[in-house]
Chains A and B, each alone.
Chain A
């Protein structure tokens, strides 16, 4: 990984909060004058032109720096260690999932996930080993604050591709300001210097897991931007409805259809 890449990442991290707020504002400002592309699936993407530019930027950065670095990481670091790294970040994510389940008034699932985190933190040496999985404890799909807002009926708003961070929506980007989960690093490491190192590690860890997915995507996509967008929006909607989204677009918010 080049030094330039690291400093770019550091800069982006420092400027993240400001950037998010700016993007949210920009997004709100743009919504007035944006023209709608045709096609039913494009309804959630009034900023397609801007999004495509950011998407191209992300692809270029990935091709030039992130993917090569991930390949090096994969070849140098043994699988056991990589699994450990993955588990630590996963454990922090589980804690945040537990908190969000509580915010969605699902106390039982929240408690289960909380207990899972506790087991892995204590018995699994700070999350290094997924002991809870060995014990047969169920893992629920991860929840973040954007999903919690969606659960209580807030619409996703337009699709938004973020520089370096990738697919999002206006709602999820705003929620990310509160999301601890997307930087497990910031929970575990308080010193900025350590945190930046950890962020790079998290980035590499994620990218390695995406290597195969990327290959399959390149194989089947006629238009990769559209495929990623449609997949992202469908998946977010499905997650908010806990895997059973209604067919109609104008269906009531998830919390209203509880206990069906």
Chain B
């Protein structure tokens, strides 16, 4: 099993700390989502673990061996196991086929075999008709698909994809998801996908996510992430997520002032009627959107704040939920996780 791990990565640009990621690991055969708001450090983290950028401090290890600071052939060999595709990828001059062949040729794969693999890869993303097209003539979505085909064809152990569906048309998204899944299943590739598309995140990595906020890698949910203010209240704290939306949290005192909070969709109970329970938080709202992902259903509510709850297909049927209907969301104070902003929490 291949493991790409990192610890204590810090990066500053112009004196501003943009990344302070604690510890994380990518394992072969698994897909993970890297979530977080714009400017949270997702691209910086990906570029560092792709060995394209040096952090100010911290370590990156490939199968337990440090890879930061390598040079020459060892660095080239390490890079061949990790491929990063940026949101706005660069295509080399020449044809789309030439681009897809690039990584294969770099790995010394023979011309015939490489052409066959490149053609299959283009076909899997619906790009067969563009094989001989000039890369410069492609639209943004086509460029993104060509770059993904180029990375997929190289079959690295770790694929780091930054917003891979940002520009592609809706019809192509399932093709990309399918190919990511087949690479994971067939060759044991690990995919780390940075995306703002919650649906894509749920489909490709329903259980595994890393969340970055202001450069810090957080434990908690990539959904239901709110910025607000915390203040002491009894033994716990209250978190104001929006005007009039005050959540009770069991987080210890010390997280006071501006901070962020997250609530896992799995810890939210939905009810059509008000419920008297031990849950300290109950918000009233209406159903905005219902999305199915495997055996789970994600219900997005407007409850003064946008709230996503994960329920079963059976619960959806028994509650008879549909967009526009009223609903109550209940969750315990312990479900409200508080994340400190920079600087670190008061000691």
Chains A and B belong together in one complex = no
Which residues of A pack against B, CB within 8 Å?
Answer: none
